[in-house]
Structure 1
Amino acid sequence: MANTYLFTGFPGFLASSLLKEMHHQSFPIERVYLLHLPIMKQQAHRQLQQLKESGINAGDIQLLEGDITKPDLGLDSNTSQSLKQEITHFFHLAALYDLAVPLSSAWKVNVKGTRMVNQWLHSCLSLQRYIYFSTAFVSGQREGIIYEEELTHEQGFKNHYEYTKYIAEQLVTQAQRELPTTIIRPGITVGHSRSGETLKFDGPYFILNMLGKLNKLPFVPHIGNSRAKINLVPYNYVVEATLHLAHFAEGLNKTYHLTDPNPYPAQDIYEMFSNELNNKEPHLTLPVPIASTALQLKWIRKWMGVQREAVSYFLCESEYDCTHTLYDLRKTDIRCPDFASYASHLVDYYKQHRDKKEKHVSIV
């Protein structure tokens, strides 16, 4: 039976990627609604046109102007009531993902927006699944093994993004009593494992920005000696796994870590990137306190292309258990590839596109 979908967060990269994969896998689709902010109207239409040109049949796709922070998702009453009769699968992808986002902005979108979505979904008569896109890093500053069924803690957070996603996931967990939910917690998402394609050079790509600058030195130093493991996952794994689990009967009211079951230590990732980008093996070690102090200076952050908030992810010794995910994917071909098998693709894509300003995030 064909389903009717609504995605928040269009024309974002994740919503577009999920839509492409749904059509690639020939999902039985009655209709797809893509919710976008009014100020994103031109970008939404442009992105939809690109999807058409990529071969997607856009006859079953409709753009909707709305705002998740408003009652009825900012839709007019008639449209809202009609959708509440139709929607079978709701993908809540809209969020502010910036690690440097101010608390007020993050709270409005990530927390208030999720609260409004939850309220709206309580009136959806045909809803089969509510897929909430969280993050593995709702674990905040917890260290050790983090399990999929765990959420509540008092260890604090590295930034406002983590904190507001944590509060938002609490709201979704509470709503599980009445809404058929599946919570997705990805690790740090990087480019496609085969093409290397990515929307933005953030997260671990800050290492590549920095290595590009350090390459001008006689040698490339290590930054600290942390053995913290960095959980990187290619976005194609996240997309494929999400779509399967969103339609998997046993996935009802479950939380999944879409994380690498065998992550590499930060130093190993740093060395792989250095070898691929600069053909240099790092030597000697620059202590983290010195690097962190340097990044307090705005001109150094901007010159190196590194967000100060990203440093903490290379020091926090957390490991994300993904037992439930692996078990529920066991009968599929969906696997998280080993980072070493696709690191070169990420670097090749970076080399080809690093001069494009739109690929880089703003450093403040």
Structure 2
Amino acid sequence: MGVYLFTGFPGFLAKQLVRELAKKEKEAKIYLLVLPSQLEKANEELSLLQYHHIQFEIIEGDITKEMLKIDSTNLERIYEEVEYVFHLAAIYDLAVKKDVAYRVNVIGTRNVIQFIKKITHLKRLIYFSTAYVAGLRKGTIYEYELDRNQSFRNHYEETKFWAEVEVQREMEQIPTTIIRPGIVIGDSLTGETAKFDGPYMILNFLQRLRYSPIIPYLHKENVELNVVPVDYIVQATIFLAHTDETTSKVFHLTNPNPIGTKEAYALMARQLLNKRPFGVFPLFLSKALLSFSFIRRWLMVEKEALDYFTCKSNYDCSEAVNYLRRSGIKCANFNSTVDTMVQYYKKHQYNKEKRILIK
């Protein structure tokens, strides 16, 4: 029986990973480290996971505190029992303030590493980074690269970079697999997603312009938009976590066939509004308008999201594709998932729980 510890529950990606793991395992015990403020929601989500062959246990804790603020009784059990740790807890907001991001993403990861060192039978740490630790680098970004003196678009990218530095520094002592996803969207088959952030902000923007006679492009350049469905991320991660040869490796779970930003924008406009974009509204004007909070809130778009329309990077995922080839797990292209994505958005666009807080 495998014994697992997850941070980041009841977040969407952690929840999807737990669900996938429960499907794969014949028998397992899963500890879920949950913030006190998230206990009620975690219990609600856990009640929906009807897997009677899996033992679930919620552990109250906080990664920003030493020993993750787990009480001594639970600490001893976890140190003795846990074999796999999936560390997903992080701040993912592109507009997050630096001190908050640093406390959770960097100090939190540092605390998790120190905690893990006391686990007796650890087989693997699976750490969730992001492909965007590459920051503002241009050209091809390889999985084995990390520190190339890059600068960053926002505090999210920068603190995730420093967090991965912490993880890689300990890889000789701790058996580790690092996962770097691209921009995660909903399930390729159902469209299910937790929040309408990232590319969904473009749908928010288009929805606000639904009565406009002209839908302009937001940028004249057509750069790579690397979006990946969440089901690819979870299936690939579970496979890589249980493959012996993937210890001490880094994997870009990015789309091997990324779409261009203009093509993606046109596809979303067609699926949502049945319109074709025409002309260009300069990106610098869009950013200027989004400097006003009332416009950001009305459009439901963060200013920082527009920076990814100028991202001139290609995230090589050869290592991941090579290992996943034996599993049959493949990443769906955006063209084949956009309809499901938009239909889910249409159905849930007025659900307040799906909206992110725009400040």
Q: TM-score, with normalisation over the residues of structure 2?
A: 0.98
Q: Which residue of 1 aligns with 2:107?
A: 112
Is structure 2 residue 181 aligned with structure 1 residue 183? no
- Bigger drift between 174-183 and 209-218 goes to 209-218
Shift of 1:309: 0.6
Q: Classify the secondary structure of the residue corresponding to 2:151.
A: coil
Q: Which residue of 1 aligns with 2:202?
A: 207
Q: 2:306 aligns with which of 298, 304, 311?
A: 311
- Find the aligned partners of 1:131 and 1:247 in 2 and give their Cα distance: 10
Alignment of 1:245-264 (within 5 A): 245-264=240-259
Letter in 1 for 2:309: F
Q: 1:320 aligns with which of 312, 315, 319?
A: 315
Q: Which residue of 1 aligns with 2:92?
A: 97
Verify the 8 A CA contact 1:7 1:91 in the aligned structure 2. Answer: yes
- Find the aligned partners of 1:210 and 1:300 in 2 and give their Cα distance: 11
Is structure 2 residue 35 aligned with structure 1 residue 37? yes
Q: Which residue of 2 aligns with 1:299?
A: 294
Q: Which residue of 2 aligns with 1:146?
A: 141
Verify the 8 A CA contact 2:22 2:54 in the aligned structure 1. Answer: no
Shift of 1:30: 3.1
Q: Classify the secondary structure of the residue corresponding to 2:28.
A: strand
Q: Which residue of 2 aligns with 1:7?
A: 6
Shift of 1:28: 4.1
Q: 2:346 aligns with which of 347, 351, 357?
A: 351
Q: 2:121 aligns with which of 126, 130, 145?
A: 126
Letter in 2 for 1:32: I
How well do the aligned residues superpose, as a CA RMSD in angstroms? 1.0
Verify the 8 A CA contact 1:9 1:93 in the aligned structure 2. Answer: yes
Letter in 2 for 1:24: K
The CA deviation string for residues 121-143 of structure 1, in whole angstroms up to 9 with x for no partner, is: 11111000000000000011111
Verify the 8 A CA contact 1:223 1:286 in the aligned structure 2. Answer: yes
Letter in 2 for 1:196: G
- Find the aligned partners of 1:12 and 1:287 in 2 and give their Cα distance: 35
The CA deviation string for residues 254-309 of structure 1, in whole angstroms up to 9 with x for no partner, is: 00000001101100000000000000000111111111111111111111110001
- Find the aligned partners of 1:363 and 1:118 in 2 and give their Cα distance: 32
Q: Classify the secondary structure of the residue corresponding to 1:145.
A: strand
Verify the 8 A CA contact 2:4 2:29 in the aligned structure 1. Answer: yes
Verify the 8 A CA contact 2:28 2:54 in the aligned structure 1. Answer: no
- Find the aligned partners of 2:235 and 2:270 in 1 and give their Cα distance: 30
- Sequence identity percentage: 44
Q: Which residue of 2 aligns with 1:239?
A: 234
The CA deviation string for residues 203-226 of structure 1, in whole angstroms up to 9 with x for no partner, is: 000100000112221111111212
Count of matched residue pairs: 359
- Find the aligned partners of 1:171 and 1:263 in 2 and give their Cα distance: 29
- Find the aligned partners of 2:309 and 2:353 in 1 and give their Cα distance: 25
- Find the aligned partners of 2:60 and 2:277 in 1 and give their Cα distance: 50
Shift of 1:59: 5.3
Q: Which runs of 4+ in 1 moved over 3 A?
A: none
Q: Which residue of 1 aligns with 2:16?
A: 17
The CA deviation string for residues 78-108 of structure 1, in whole angstroms up to 9 with x for no partner, is: 3212211111000001001011111111111
Q: 2:268 aligns with which of 266, 273, 296?
A: 273
Q: 1:46 aligns with which of 44, 51, 59?
A: 44
Q: Classify the secondary structure of the residue corresponding to 2:49.
A: helix
Letter in 1 for 2:275: K
- Find the aligned partners of 1:335 and 1:266 in 2 and give their Cα distance: 22
Q: 2:81 aligns with which of 76, 86, 104?
A: 86
- Find the aligned partners of 1:268 and 1:235 in 2 and give their Cα distance: 21
- Structure 2 residue runs without a partner (length 5+): none
Letter in 1 for 2:247: L
The CA deviation string for residues 239-260 of structure 1, in whole angstroms up to 9 with x for no partner, is: 0000000111111000000000
- Find the aligned partners of 2:251 and 2:237 in 1 and give their Cα distance: 9
The CA deviation string for residues 182-219 of structure 1, in whole angstroms up to 9 with x for no partner, is: 00000000010011110000000010000011222111
- Find the aligned partners of 2:69 and 2:26 in 1 and give their Cα distance: 28
Letter in 2 for 1:11: P
Verify the 8 A CA contact 1:222 1:283 in the aligned structure 2. Answer: yes
Verify the 8 A CA contact 1:188 1:203 in the aligned structure 2. Answer: yes
Letter in 1 for 2:19: K
Letter in 2 for 1:189: V
- Find the aligned partners of 2:170 and 2:80 in 1 and give their Cα distance: 20
Residues 46, 161 of structure 1: CA spacing in aligned structure 2 closer, same or farther, 3 A cutoff?
same
Q: Classify the secondary structure of the residue corresponding to 2:157.
A: helix
Verify the 8 A CA contact 2:27 2:53 in the aligned structure 1. Answer: no
Letter in 2 for 1:9: G
- Bigger drift between 214-223 and 229-238 goes to 214-223
Q: TM-score, with normalisation over the residues of structure 1?
A: 0.97
- Find the aligned partners of 1:30 and 1:203 in 2 and give their Cα distance: 34
